[in-house]
Amino acid sequence: MKKSIKKLAAAGLSITSIASLLACGSSSTTSTTESTTAGKEIEKPELITVMEDNTVTESNGAQAFYDYMQQLTGLNIKWIHPDHSGYYDTVANAFTSEDTMPDVVLLSSDYYSVYASNGMLWNMTDAYNNSELKSSGRLVSTANDVVNACYVAGEDGKKALYGFPTQQGGGSVTYVKSSWLKEAGIDKSELEGKTLDWNTYYGYLKKMADAKQHYVISSPGFVSANAPYTNYLPEFYQDAQFSFYENSQGKYVDGFTEQAMKDALARIRTGVVDGVLDKESVNNSTANCRDKWFSVSPDSESGAFTYWAGDWTYTMQSTLEKRNLDTDVIMLNPIKELGAYLNTLPTTWSITSACKNPEGVYKYFIETMLDGGDIQEAWTYGAKGTHWDTIAETVTLQDSDTSTTYKDGEFHHLPSPEKPYQLQMKNHIDPLLALAKYKDTPQTPNGDDPGSNVIPEVSKNAEQFFLEHSKMDVALPVNSDLSENITDINQARTYVVSQVALGYMTVDEGMNYYTDTVGSKVDQVVKSLNK
């Protein structure tokens, strides 16, 4: 353990630089080094330290949630909730010593495999396989794929489950404004529900650009800074791989140098030249892109946008309505060459190697997050009486002229403690993406989510559309060669994409620059991945 800590501490200065690594790899189960025996009497922990990032904030009623969780679980939990902007710096600092490591930590897919590969996370493979949750019959149909995507290599190089996801990662779909189609003389029935090929799809984009004399798509970068890198321009990238991946022959290769990526770069450049793609995408944030999507100015408005499904869909519809913009927006099927949108890798709850009673922490803390009852409801919606309730009452938002009256037993959200002018909608688990249904009770018949009646139908439909048209993302294992070189390699890749997109380099010039700059490092990584 001390060796692992020293190894990670040495890489501590660059821990944020490997945030771009894909963390959960697809795999079937393997043998484990830590064993949990089925039917074994497991001691309930006296105290659990939990470092988390994705629950309600201190200003939004976190203490009420913590108190409520203690009431439900009977666990004495020391919650550590660092500021979101510096969360992973705090995690890295905590992991420099066993004395400061928490028992449980919430990790994004960027960091999960890094800590697993350094021997700092407990192997929970047997614990999950022997769990009541797995045998309950409440797991959703896609749960197995999601969990299998979280098998990563440990310090011994063998793949195992070092963290548990409570939900799917979710992902993005491509939205198109019907008003833009109409202005270009295109009937939306030509796109809606249809699987277009690239040429047909691009033809529609070109018609809209010509009609508007303006870009159609504004993207948060021509390539994303984090995995999945091609998520916001999926039709342009298609089957191109930005990073290293395992090909059909079982060999790891650098996707960036393949013909598919060269073709993708050519499509992006053509999109900029034709006025289809916003050239300012090179510097755009997601906030910039949302602003352009909602813009009332013809000079800055965009007409197509690849962004999150689910809650975002409702936010999009309501915001367009508030700004008196056309709310008729269609979601596109993935084009033929793309095949499916990417279901991103989820955050995982991991038990650290410093935990004294990992079996107990798994059984009484992690597994109960999906208990199909009160605890799952709390992780989904927050504290009863603070964030939601079922009592008979009238709820009025701050500065609102309208009130809603609820009957006794009727689930409803309450005004956010932090923003009382809006309802508190969810906590850590997205109800549309949860990996397990509820137990069949009068309050949750057929395993339905207790808050399903207040989830907007547009959100439900959008998330269902995404899940039906997506596949799980696949990621790479982490090794020392990749960790040491990935920052320089990804910087070179991103530079080439931007230079080609803006016309400062041809595709061939970009690839020559890439080879000249980081080619030796790429060769080193590929060689190490294929050992």
In a domain, 469, yes or no: no
In a domain, 458, yes or no: no
State the average pLDDT over residues 364-372. Answer: 98
Give pLDDT tens digits for 465-487.
999 999 999 877 788 899 899 99
List, in order, residues 6 or more apart from 320 with CB less than 8 Å away: 294, 326, 327, 329
In a domain, 464, yes or no: no
Token readout for 415 is: 């005004």
pLDDT of residue 29: 35
Q: List Cβ<8 Å contacts ≥24 apart for 153-158.
A: 153/25, 153/113, 153/116, 153/117, 153/477, 153/478, 153/479, 154/33, 154/116, 154/117, 154/119, 154/121, 154/123, 155/4, 155/116, 155/117, 155/118, 155/119, 156/33, 158/30, 158/31, 158/33
In a domain, 241, yes or no: yes
How many angstroms separate the first and last alpha carbons of the chain? 25
**Do 195 and 104 belong to one domain?**
no
State the average pLDDT over residues 37-49. Answer: 83
For the beta carbon of residue 519, count every other beta carbon within 10 angstroms. Answer: 17
Q: What are phi and psi of 166, to 5 degrees?
A: -90, -10
Give pLDDT tens digits for 327-363.
999 999 999 999 999 999 999 999 999 999 999 999 9
Q: What is the mean pLDDT of the chain?
A: 91
State the average pLDDT over residues 516-528. Answer: 97
Q: Where does residue 110 rank: exposed (0-12), middle (13-18), buried (19+ CB within 10 A)?
A: buried
Is residue 458 pLDDT above 80, yes or no? yes
Output the 3-class SS for 475-488: CCCCCHHHHHHHHH
Beta-ladder partners of 252: 246
Give pLDDT tens digits for 129-154.
999 999 999 999 999 999 999 999 89
In a domain, 462, yes or no: no
pLDDT of residue 531: 87
- Alpha-carbon separation of residue 426 from 87, 115, 128, 324, 521 (angstroms): 21, 29, 26, 27, 44
**DSSP codes, 322-357:** HTT----EEEPPPPTTT-SEEEPPPPEEEEBTT-S-
Residue ranges making up the domain that contains 426: 388-453
pLDDT of residue 39: 55
Is residue 20 pLDDT above 90, yes or no? no
- What's the rounded Cα separation, in Å, for the pair 352 and 364? 16
**DSSP codes, 256-297:** GGSHHHHHHHHHHHHHHHTT-B-GGGGG--HHHHHHHHT--S
Assess contact for 21 and 15: CB atoms under 8 A: no
Assess contact for 325 and 294: CB atoms under 8 A: yes
Is residue 31 pLDDT above 90, yes or no? no
- Stated length of the chain: 531
In a domain, 466, yes or no: no
For the beta carbon of residue 358, count every other beta carbon within 10 angstroms. Answer: 24
pLDDT of residue 30: 34
- What's the rounded Cα separation, in Å, for the pair 508 and 514? 10
**Do 249 and 272 belong to one domain?**
yes
pLDDT of residue 42: 93
pLDDT of residue 266: 98
**Do 321 and 403 belong to one domain?**
no
Assess contact for 341 and 466: CB atoms under 8 A: yes
In a domain, 204, yes or no: yes
**Do 90 and 234 belong to one domain?**
no
**Do 361 and 335 belong to one domain?**
no
Tokens 């793309």 locate to 338
- What's the rounded Cα separation, in Å, for the pair 504 and 120? 45
Please report, for the domain that includes residue 58, its CATH number.
3.40.190.10
Q: Give, in degrees to the nearest 5, the angle at Cα 166 between 161 and 170.
A: 105
Is residue 10 pLDDT above 50, yes or no? no
Count up the domains in the chain and report the number: 3
Q: Is the pTM of this model over 0.85?
A: yes
**Do 111 and 30 belong to one domain?**
yes
State the average pLDDT over residues 190-212. Answer: 98
Give the distance from CA 307 to its chain's centroid.
12
- What's the rounded Cα separation, in Å, for the pair 350 and 329? 39
**Do 200 and 223 belong to one domain?**
yes
Token readout for 72 is: 């439900």
**Do 420 and 294 belong to one domain?**
no
Q: Give, in degrees to the nearest 5, the angle at Cα 319 between 318 and 323.
A: 115
DSSP 25: P
pLDDT of residue 362: 98
Is residue 459 pLDDT above 80, yes or no? yes
For the beta carbon of residue 32, count every other beta carbon within 10 angstroms. Answer: 19
**Do 18 and 144 belong to one domain?**
yes
Q: Is 31 helix (H, G, I), strand (E, B) or coil?
A: coil
Is residue 1 very low, low, confident or very high in pLDDT (cuts 50, 70, 90)?
low
**Do 9 and 123 belong to one domain?**
yes
Question: Which is nearest to 278 in space by CA: 225, 317, 236, 320?
Answer: 236
State the average pLDDT over residues 174-194. Answer: 97
Q: Which residue has the higher pLDDT, 19 or 346?
A: 346
**Do 336 and 350 belong to one domain?**
no
In a domain, 468, yes or no: no
Work out the percent of the chain whose per-residue pLDDT is above 70: 92
Is residue 45 pLDDT above 60, yes or no? yes
**Do 219 and 354 belong to one domain?**
no
- What's the rounded Cα separation, in Å, for the pair 312 and 463? 10
